Amino acid sequence: MKIIFLGTTAVHAALVAAYIYMEKLDKRDLNNINGVGDVYLEAKNKVLFIGTDQNGNDVYTFGAGRELLMVKKTIEDLRNLLGYKKDDLKVVIITTPGDRILAWLLKIPLILGGQNIARQLSVLVLSKYFDLLNNTIAQLKSSISTSPG
Amino acid sequence: MKIIYHCYGGSHSSVIAAALHLKLIEKHRFPTAEEIMAIPYYDKTDDSDFGSIRFMGIDESGNEVYVLGRKGMSEKYNNLLNDIAAILGEKENLLTAECLNRVNISMKLGGFLSRRAGFIFPGRAVVLKGTQAAFMALVNLVESVRLKTLNKVE
Asked whether the beta carbons of residue B83 and residue A77 sit closer than 8 angstroms, the reply is: no
The DSSP secondary structure of chain A, one letter per residue, reads -EEEEEESSTTTHHHHHHHHHHT--SSS-GGGSTTTT-HHHHHT--PEEEEE-TTS-EEEEEE-TT-HHHHHHHHHHHHHHTT--TTTEEEEE---TTHHHHHHHTTS-GGGTHHHHHHHHHHHHHHHTHHHHHHHHHHHHHHHHHS--
Q: Which chain B residue's Cα is nearest to A58?
A: B87
Q: Rounded CA gap, A29 and A130, in Å?
A: 10
B53 touches chain A (CB under 8 A): yes
**pLDDT level of residue A98 (50, 70, 90 thresholds):** very high
Across the beta sheet with B94-98, the strand order is: B53-58, B64-69, B2-7, B94-98
pLDDT tops 90 at residue A116: no
The pLDDT value given to residue B154: 59
Q: What is the mean pLDDT of chain B?
A: 90
Q: Is A2 in contact with B77 (Cβ distance < 8 A)?
A: no
pLDDT at A56 over 80: yes
* pLDDT at B123 (0 to 100): 80
Give the pLDDT band (50/70/90) at residue A113: low
Minimum distance, in Å, between the CA of residue B1 and any CA atom of chain A? 9
At A147, the pLDDT band (50, 70, 90 cuts) reads low
Average pLDDT estimate for B35-50? 91
pLDDT of residue A146: 67
* Percent of chain B whose pLDDT exceeds 70: 98
Instruction: Compute CA A118 distance to the chain's CA centroid, rounded to the nearest angstrom.
Output: 17
pLDDT for the residue numbered B6: 96
**CA A50, CA A44: separation in Å to the nearest integer?**
15
**Average pLDDT over chain A, rounded to an integer:** 90
Mean pLDDT of B84-102: 94
Range 87-146 of B in CB contact (< 8 A) with A: 87-88, 90, 93-94
Residues of A with Cβ-Cβ distance to B2 under 8 angstroms: 81-82
- Selecting from B50, B80, B88 the residue whose C-beta is nearest the C-beta of A79 gives B88
Contact across the interface for B66 and A81, Cβ inside 8 Å = yes
ipTM of the complex: 0.91
| Mutate: best of A2, A66, A70, A89, partner B, most B CBs <10 A | A70
Interface contact B85, partner A, CB < 8 A: yes
Q: Does A90 touch chain B (CB under 8 A)?
A: no
Q: What are A16-53's pLDDT values in tens digits?
A: 999 999 998 867 788 889 999 888 899 999 999 999 99
